[in-house]
Amino acid sequence: MQDLLRCEPSDIREPGAKSETPDMTPSSDPSETAPTCRLCGDPQPTENWRRPTADESSGHDWEQASPVERYCGLCGTPACDDTTLDRLQSQDIGRHAGRLYGASLVSPTPEVVAFMAGWDVAAKGAADQSLVPFDMWVNRAHTHMLVATSILTRAQGESILVGLEEVERRYRAGQFRLRPSLEDVHTNIEKYLTDDLGIEAGLAMHTARSRNDQVVTDMRLWMRHRVIVLAHLCLDLMQQLSTVAQLHLESVMAGYTHHQHATISTFGHHLAAYAEATRRVLHRLNHWYVTFNYSPLGCVTGLSTTFPIDRHLTADLLGFDGPEPNSLDPIASRWEPEADLGHLLAVLLAHLSNMAQTFILLSTQEFGVLHLHPRFCSGSSIMPQKVNPDALEVIKAKASEVTSRLSGLLALGRASLTGYNRDQQWSKYLIMEACLEGLPAVSIMARMVAHSCRPLQDNPWLHREVGVDTAKLQAMAATGFAGVTELMEQLVAQSGIEFRHLKSVMEQAVAISLQTGEPNHITHAALQEALSAADLNLDLDPDTVQRLQEPCAILALKHAVGGPSPQALEAELAQLDAFIDSQHQVWQVRRESLQAKYDACCQLA
């Protein structure tokens, strides 16, 4: 919980520049700040990080791991930026000698390998282990309230708080693990206080609450934390999309409908579309935050209590905007905040899945316009030439996974007698798995955009070209009659002929052009023949017919708001950047406010 969400920009250096490997090693001085993820801000290492080269004798010590091996187990962000990873890997730092295949052509780093491997050899761990810091916060807030309302004595409260501090110290040192025999995190902590630490007052800590409101509050805090992490991941994705789109203002390409050439667009226009989709996810994250940032603590079983508790105090100590107004609702609706978060995750991953499939097609030999960074690819166990876009394919799988979890959450919310029911416990596992699958996909995609979608250039560390072949994209845009629609629009505007009449003429002109062996453009002769057959007469010369179908000429005419012309796209990207800046401030204020509440709750005597 310490330093909940400190977000810093990636330290990207050009090849040849002097740089130091980012220092992610915890200091031996306990007074110094623990290392945090450079994107989501979580303290490192996280529960889900495992040292890739560790064995039983060496363990999973963060301090012993190489810089390449360190990454955030929550969001999948590596400790080093990708340019630094390129440099380190070019020096054979972090390359795994045990890799069986693809080492000469692909270079996935441990966080990408973990992302692609799924749960083949990794364990997900106990769900409640990730609730420990949140349950500790809830216990502290509840204890402070019990003392403030004279339900417990000051001496009892101080004894409990000292014990909780010791439990947290041992947890951070890796010395506090949940015992399966004690069923859940709440019982584990309480029994540790009373049995292991001998704090008799711990027997009174559960006064005026139930595990019902305790776990709902824990999960509300856990989800709020994931929402903040996801907001920063989405903002990073949007920033990468906007930044790279700026490089493709004039990267002409054919847009597609039904997997066929449609009309003229740009690669930057497509990237901006993905950023707009992510903007809507940010709106949904804001809605989740303002809707569910209320405290269920004190609802007890759902039917309140006769103790004179102060729910406003505990809500404030936990950083909520207030207590839930009805004690029954948050207990009976335990699935709803989870389903809302699952829904926006499913929508986000659906967009990422569409991006992934588009990038996969553009990277095939048939298209050959997108040269993926080898970090996000995998080799074959039999075919020596293979550079497979596995990370993109896995993003599509993750989208299906998250959607299935959402279906489970929605099903859990049906057909229950109003009140607490044990089947609601499974909402915890479903949303945790949705986040576990979904969050790293956002980070991976942002990095792929940043390092695979720039205009094609030689990577001096990799000694190969990475990026988008804009020349080939433009050449492809001049095929398959991609300029015919805009030719028709210009003729309608200049002649005054009704659209539907001229549309029929243009269809005939396409057919005539194909019959005469021209597969890409309407010829002047074909257009004149089609016009004549429709008793229409337009004074057009061959050069004008050709020019009005040229991709670059067409692009310059698409000035409408939201269109792909450089001017229209620049205006859209300026609005996107302003939105990103404003949202960074919103989420930073929330993060800092929650950090202050947490610190205050820990320091209260």
Q: Which residue has the tokens 């709020």?
A: 224
Please state, as a whole number, how many other Cβ atoms lie within 10 Å of the Cβ of residue 503. 14
Q: With a cut of 80, say whether residue 99 has pLDDT above it.
A: no
Calculate the CA 363 to chain-centre distance: 22
Two structure tokens written together for 367: 């298209």
Q: With a cut of 60, say whether residue 121 has pLDDT above it.
A: yes
Residue 249, helix vs strand vs coil: coil
- List beta partners, residue 466: 457
3-state SS, one letter per residue, for 166-233 = HHHHHHHCCCCCCCHHHCCHHHHHHHHHHHHCCCHHHHHCCCCCCHHHHHHHHHHHHHHHHHHHHHHH
**pLDDT range class, residue 24, cuts 50, 70, 90:** very low
- 5-9, 278-282, 358-362, 372-376 — which is least confidently predicted? 5-9
Q: Which residue has the tokens 């007074």?
A: 31
Q: With a cut of 50, say whether residue 597 has pLDDT above it.
A: yes
Please state, as a whole number, how many other Cβ atoms lie within 10 Å of the Cβ of residue 306. 7
Across 237-258, average pLDDT: 97
Cβ atoms 79, 24 nearer than 8 A = yes
- Which of 364-393 are b and which e, b meaning 16 or more Cβ less than 10 Å from the residue's Cβ? eeeeebbbbbbbbbbbeeeeeeebbbbbbb
For the entire predicted model, the pTM comes to 0.91
pLDDT for 523-578, tens place per residue? 999 999 999 999 998 989 999 999 999 999 999 999 999 999 999 999 999 999 99
pLDDT for 307-354, tens place per residue? 999 999 999 999 999 999 999 999 999 999 999 999 999 999 999 999
How buried is residue 554: exposed, middle or buried, by Cβ count under 10 Å (0-12/13-18/19+)?
Answer: buried
pLDDT for 379-424, tens place per residue? 888 888 888 999 999 999 999 999 999 999 999 998 888 888 888 8
Distant-in-sequence, close-in-space partners of 583: CB < 8 Å, separation ≥ 6: 231, 235, 282
Distant-in-sequence, close-in-space partners of 533: CB < 8 Å, separation ≥ 6: 505, 508
Q: Average pLDDT, whole number, for the chain?
A: 89
- Distance CA(338)–CA(282), nearest Å, equals 17
Two structure tokens written together for 35: 């290392």
Cβ atoms 242, 580 nearer than 8 A = yes
Cβ atoms 288, 348 nearer than 8 A = no
